[in-house]
């Protein structure tokens, strides 16, 4: 026996999702007073859910699968085809082990060092400029960081184009028209360029440093002991490069938070590493980034008296879970202090997905993201002085991904000596 799931009346609700953006699922969880409801997107029955318990079942590999779940427009831009995101079971676990092996303490330390160096080079340049747009500058810093860390050689005159192409993959999945095509074209260009590089590595003409992403992925063998196809290697290397460049979005929100909450800036200046970590966690919880993730019901099951039918498209609300009043006190208040007493749960704080890194699809780069954010925070608070002139610092709760409208302009930049 099962109950009927709360559902939205009407033929299709794609327009409501586009109108309400990050708040779409949360708004309905509130009005239905239910963490799960049924709706229709692009003519297809879809289950939406959010909250800790919902995340727990979403990450149960017996109940949900990823193969075939990602919409095409996401694959054509952000994900690419046949990457780790769409794998299940042992195949997924084996590929994911390769990704997680890149996140060793030594490799993360190398990432922090490179990030420091690239920030330093950039700020030396900023001092002589009238003004900078932080979002674009940080994307370029991170593109350089990503390529160095991943062992991908790039000519100096190729950095700007590569930054733009990787940024377009991040900004285009939900866009329409030319902005969407920018993402597709960007992906095609970078996949082609990487394809040639991968062939040169396999031919012995290029030797990436040991233990870098390029080295590991090019020589990774699947469960049948075969090397991955060149196209798949390119997709997985882009999973690293693009994702590191995407941290620019969080760094823009760090700058916004430091500007909006001057009392936080003062606390951060005391140099307490634990507080810096708490601040970064709160930025990841509070600001909008990934709205939700998708999976398909693997086989019929009943949860909380509701029936989930095989192959139903299902969304897990990341933003809404990070703002769920059942988990977070005053969820709409920016308060790093909440992380001082935070009882860790892999399902309640899920800006980069939840669950287990190896058995599930939780973001492989979560630790890397936190480290890069901490270095950037240190520059913004302790190592730089700058003015934030009048500009439109508001950000949309509808456009995905959300970016402060001005992309944050700094003037009169000086290094603290
Ligand atoms: C900019 C900050 C980042 C955000 C907001 C983010 C967010 C996410 C999310 C939401 C997922 C999907 C989780 C799921 O489907 O259950 C994911 C997966 C993934 N992320 Fe990240 N990510 C970020 C940075 C990174 C970085 C820096 C890397 C690598 C260096 C990375 C590599 C990956 C990979 C490989 C996956 C696929 C994991 C799998 O399917 O098993 N991400 N990320």
Q: Can you identify the CATH homologous superfamily of domain 14-415? A: Cytochrome P450 (1.10.630.10)
Q: Quote the pLDDT of residue 42.
A: 87
Helices 273-286 and 262-269: crossing angle in degrees, nearest 10, is 150
The dihedral formed by the CA atoms of 152, 75, 64 and 245, expressed in degrees to the nearest 10: 40
Site to substitute for ligand 1 among 243, 285, 376, most atoms within 8 A of C-beta = 243
CB 96 near ligand 1, within 6 Å:
yes
Close Cβ partners of 142 (under 8 Å, ≥ 6 residues apart): 115, 118, 244, 245, 247, 248, 372
Query: What stretches of 223-364 show up as alpha helix (H) in DSSP?
Result: 230-260, 262-269, 273-286, 318-321
Name the helix (H) or strand (E) containing 13: none
How many CA atoms, within 13 angstroms, populate the side-chain half-sphere of residue 119? 21
How many angstroms is it from 48 CA to the middle of ligand 1? 21
Q: What are phi and psi of 289, to 5 degrees?
A: -140, -100
CB 369 near ligand 1, within 6 Å:
yes
Q: Looking only at Cα atoms, what is the longest distance across the chain?
A: 70
In whole angstroms, give the CA distance from residue 61 to residue 368. Answer: 25
How many CB atoms within 10 Å of residue 70?
20
In whole angstroms, give the CA distance from residue 156 to residue 355. Answer: 39
CA atoms 171, 240, 162, 394: torsion sign:
positive
Digit-coded pLDDT (tens) for 247-287: 999 999 999 999 999 999 999 999 999 999 999 999 999 99
Site to substitute for ligand 1 among 79, 170, 365, 367, most atoms within 8 A of C-beta = 365
CA distances from 287 to 61, 79, 188, 282 (A): 29, 22, 30, 8
The dihedral formed by the CA atoms of 344, 346, 347 and 349, expressed in degrees to the nearest 10: 60
CB 353 near ligand 1, within 6 Å:
yes
Q: Is 66 exposed, middle or buried (0-12, 13-18, 19+ CB in 10 A)?
A: buried
How many angstroms is it from 295 CA to the middle of ligand 1? 15
Q: What percent of the chain has pLDDT over 70?
A: 100
In whole angstroms, give the CA distance from residue 187 to residue 165. Answer: 7
CB 362 near ligand 1, within 6 Å:
yes
Q: Quote the pLDDT of residue 135.
A: 98
Q: Which residues of the chain have pLDDT under 50?
A: none
Digit-coded pLDDT (tens) for 339-398: 998 888 999 999 999 999 999 999 999 999 999 999 999 999 999 999 999 999 999 999
The residue whose C-alpha atom lies closest to atom 26 belonging to ligand 1 is: 365
Q: Quote the pLDDT of residue 1.
A: 66
Tell which residue, 208, 136, 120, has the closest CA to residue 170: 136
DSSP-derived secondary structure letter, 393: -
Query: Taking the CA atoms of the chain, what radius of gyration do you get in angstroms?
Result: 21
CB 99 near ligand 1, within 6 Å:
yes
How many CA atoms, within 13 angstroms, populate the side-chain half-sphere of residue 128? 4
Site to substitute for ligand 1 among 317, 363, 373, most atoms within 8 A of C-beta = 363
CB 395 within 8 A of CB 402: yes
In whole angstroms, give the CA distance from residue 328 to residue 3. Answer: 29
How many angstroms is it from 338 CA to the middle of ligand 1? 24
Q: What are phi and psi of 309, to 5 degrees?
A: -95, 140
In whole angstroms, give the CA distance from residue 248 to residue 144. Answer: 12
Q: State whether residue 392 is helix, strand or coil.
A: coil
């Amino acid at each position: 026996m099962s109950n009927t799931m709360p559902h939205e009346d009407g033929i299709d609700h794609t327009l409501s999702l586009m109108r309400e953006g990050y708040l779409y699922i949360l708004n309905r969880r509130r009005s239905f007073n239910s963490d799960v409801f049924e709706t229709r997107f692009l003519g297809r029955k879809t289950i939406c859910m959010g909250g800790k318990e919902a995340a727990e079942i979403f990450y149960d590999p017996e109940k949900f699968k990823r193969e075939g779940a990602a919409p095409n427009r996401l694959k054509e831009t952000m994900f690419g085809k046949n990457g780790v995101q769409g794998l299940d079971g042992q195949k997924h676990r084996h590929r994911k082990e390769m990704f997680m092996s890149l996140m060793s303490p030594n490799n993360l330390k190398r990432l922090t060092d490179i990030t420091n160096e690239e920030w330093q080079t950039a700020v030396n340049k900023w001092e002589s400029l009238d003004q900078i747009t932080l979002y674009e500058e940080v994307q370029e810093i991170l593109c350089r960081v990503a390529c160095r860390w991943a062992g991908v050689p790039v000519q100096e005159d190729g950095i700007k184009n590569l930054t733009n192409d990787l940024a377009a993959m991040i900004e285009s999945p939900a866009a329409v028209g030319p902005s969407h095509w920018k993402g597709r074209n960007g992906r095609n260009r970078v996949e082609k360029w990487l394809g040639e590089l991968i062939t040169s590595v396999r031919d012995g003409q290029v030797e990436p440093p040991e233990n870098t992403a390029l080295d590991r992925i090019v020589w990774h063998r699947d469960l049948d002991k075969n090397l991955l196809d060149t196209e798949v290697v390119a997709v997985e290397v882009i999973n690293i490069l693009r994702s590191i460049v995407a941290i620019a979005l969080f760094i823009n929100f760090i700058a916004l938070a430091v500007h909006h909450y001057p009392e936080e800036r003062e606390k951060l200046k005391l140099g307490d590493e634990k507080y810096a970590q708490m601040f970064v966690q709160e930025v990841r919880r509070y600001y909008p980034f990934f709205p939700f993730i998708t999976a398909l019901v693997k086989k019929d099951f009943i949860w909380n008296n509701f029936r989930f039918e095989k192959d139903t498209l299902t969304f897990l609300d990341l933003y809404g879970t990070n703002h769920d009043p059942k988990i977070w006190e005053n969820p709409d208040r920016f308060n790093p202090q909440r992380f001082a007493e935070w009882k860790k749960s892999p399902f309640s704080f899920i800006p980069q997905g939840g669950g287990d890194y190896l058995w599930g699809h939780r973001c492989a780069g979560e630790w890397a993201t936190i480290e890069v954010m901490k270095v950037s925070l240190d520059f913004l608070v302790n190592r730089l002085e700058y003015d934030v002139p009048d500009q439109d610092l508001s950000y949309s709760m509808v456009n995905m991904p959300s970016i402060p409208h001005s992309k944050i302009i700094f003037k009169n930049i000086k290094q603290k000596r």
